[in-house]
Structure 1
Amino acid sequence: YSAQERMGEPARAVRALPDAETSVRSGGGSRAAIALVVLIALAFAVAVYIGFRSPYPQPATRRAEPLRTTVVPLAPRGVVPGGSPEQLYRAEPVAGFRTGAAGINYPAVERTQNFSDSQITAALATVKDYLVESSLNPDVLTGSVRRPVEHLLDPDQRPQFERSLSDPADDGSRAATGWLVRFDPEQVELADPRIRVQGTLRYEEEAPGVLDVLSDHTFTYALRPADGPHRDDDASLFTVRRELHFRFDR
């Protein structure tokens, strides 16, 4: 599957990362919000801005931007081939993909002018956590749970998140698939929970005190009809591309 990706100018939904001396795993209940721009090539392309909780101090006056989306529905060009998950995963290009979170790898980390190694590592860890929970968690994918994604969001955005999942609409602000990857459990189910992943993470200090983390990953799911009885060869592959742009401010 492919999509003509759409992305608008990123909006700020950011909060301060720690000073250079702060440990990556330091505790506390405060949070840092970051801007996230998500483009998903699933049956749509989407640009979304969300915030995250993080255990670092932030100015109390900053508020996360609401999610905004643009959805472009797509359809396959021909018949989707079927088979067993093992057979389908052996075909190119998926054969070169890694399994699950192992396909989401950090780049080599070197401090920038205004961000320490630990701050950059913390930002990358937040990005990976979001990717894992919103793209790989089988319970999230089938719609049975939402908390693993919700707890990463800024509290200001949680009401919008809840509305998007309980009453989704393609109106630019309530697309459930703007927050996470989700399949209709009445139509399909995972034929293999070992999702294949390939992509990259990179970062740069875009401006003094502004760290961008860019994520570009392709997720390949083996799905089969939810109605039984099931056969060993009734699976087909469904591919999602997610390009995310996270922005961290000091």
Structure 2
Amino acid sequence: MAGRTDPPEGTPGGAPGAGDEEYQSTVFDESFVRAARLQEYSARQRLEDHTTAVRTRAPEAYSTAGRTVPKQGIALALIILMAFAAAIYLGANNPYDAARELPADPPAAVTVALAPEGEVPGAADAAALYADGPAEDYGAGAGGVDLPDPRATAHFSREQVLTALTLAKEYVVASALTPGVLAGTTTVPVRELLGAEQQRQFDGALNGQDARWGGITDWLVRFDEAEAELVDQQVRVEGDFSFSEITDDVLQVEGHHVSVYALRPAGAPAAPVALFTVQRQLRFQFGEEELRDRNVVLRQADTLAGPMDCAADPSAVFHPLLAGESATQPASEGVDPYALDGERAALCGTFAVSDLPSPAAH
């Protein structure tokens, strides 16, 4: 029998390893035994007075997947949670995001009416008036509004400068050269270029219910369709733009243009045509948000307009004096509306242009 490893009766089950083979993959290590909910008493303990041979262990601390959550893990989770909350708070209160949005106050605006020295000259058609006056070589419509060559500034790229100039041109075209805006039938082309706050101010000026917002003619050129109508839909225009960086996050564009309108009395197709001239100096500002959203912020609008009676109120519409009409109220010194570098009158001036055509015969 020496050297035999199997019992005399052979391996249980009649095959090598049979009987115990199905339990060979189960390992009862120390951690498994300690984790058992029931624990057998020792031989000495079983001699004592017990009703059962095993005892129930006290419950372990809460665990996940059989493992107790360590204190270090709880602390790390709290740190991550606090860092995440701080990131959300700082992101929602970033001062740099707020600084990029420009304050949208109403534009500072001055309108000076220019009264004629005598009767307003007129002609049978607009072409004759253009040929005899300073507007002969002016451009027509949007094509007459030229842009300077854009270049990068210290904090704005060339593309951003081009966007600002393009938006300024769109505003000039919408507010002074668009027939529907001039006739008072729409304001959408102008309004949609403004940000939300200035849109509210624009609506207030249009409704005329709050003097804080000024007049609608601070924002655009407009005539009363019951008084005058456009003869030439292609308004003559001359002027230029300039741009500069006034702070590291504000780009400023200035537009200085003269627009000349051929008008006749409303509902009188046979009446002679007269010219009405408007010189506007507009100042726009742009930040990163305005350039991204393609909005303008109108800061200043200075206007010379005539021939117009100084007694007329130009806040809602301009009231041009048409061919053969004259002013009822005397003005101050003469002002040339075609001179882009000329001096401005305080409230009302005389429409003084040396080479205007003579008045038409009636």
Query: Given the two structures, how large is their TM-score scaled by the length of structure 2?
Result: 0.49
Q: Shift of the alpha carbon at 1:63? A: 4.1
- Spell out the pairing of 1:35-184 with structure 2 (5 A cutoff): 62-83=102-123, 84-167=125-208, 171=211, 173-184=213-224
Distance 1:164 1:246 in 2: 19
Distance 2:98 2:145 in 1: 28
Distance 1:200 1:71, change over 3 A: closer
Higher helix share: 2
Q: Which residue of 260, 267, 287 corresponds with 1:249?
A: 287
Q: Shift of the alpha carbon at 1:237? A: 0.3
Distance 1:67 1:214 in 2: 13
The range that moved more, 85-94 or 184-193, is: 85-94
Alpha-carbon displacement from aligned partner over 1:86-138 (angstroms, at most 9, x marks no partner): 11111231101010111211111221221111000000011011011100110
| 1:217 partnered with 2:257 | yes
The percentage of counterpart residues that share the same residue type is: 38
Is the CA contact (8 Å cut-off) linking 1:168 and 1:175 kept in structure 2? no
Distance 1:196 1:219 in 2: 6
Aligned residue for 2:244? 204
Distance 1:91 1:58, change over 3 A: farther
Which one has more relative contact order, counting CA pairs under 8 Å at least 6 apart? 1
**Unpaired runs of at least 5, structure 1:** 1-56
Distance 1:77 1:58, change over 3 A: farther
Q: Which residue of 219, 224, 236 corresponds with 2:274?
A: 236
The range that moved more, 146-155 or 63-72, is: 63-72
Distance 1:122 1:82, change over 3 A: same
**Unpaired runs of at least 5, structure 2:** 1-96, 289-362
Alpha-carbon displacement from aligned partner over 1:187-210 (angstroms, at most 9, x marks no partner): 000011110000011112234333
Q: Shift of the alpha carbon at 1:236? A: 0.3
1:200 counterpart letter in structure 2: D
The range that moved more, 187-196 or 68-77, is: 68-77
Is the CA contact (8 Å cut-off) linking 1:203 and 1:214 kept in structure 2? yes
Is the CA contact (8 Å cut-off) linking 2:237 and 2:260 kept in structure 1? yes
Distance 2:217 2:274 in 1: 21
Larger Rg: 2
Is the CA contact (8 Å cut-off) linking 1:222 and 1:235 kept in structure 2? yes
Distance 1:205 1:220 in 2: 31
2:134 counterpart letter in structure 1: P
The range that moved more, 72-81 or 180-189, is: 72-81
RMSD: 2.2
Distance 1:212 1:226 in 2: 39
Corresponding residue SS for 1:90: helix
Distance 1:175 1:117 in 2: 35
1:234 counterpart letter in structure 2: P
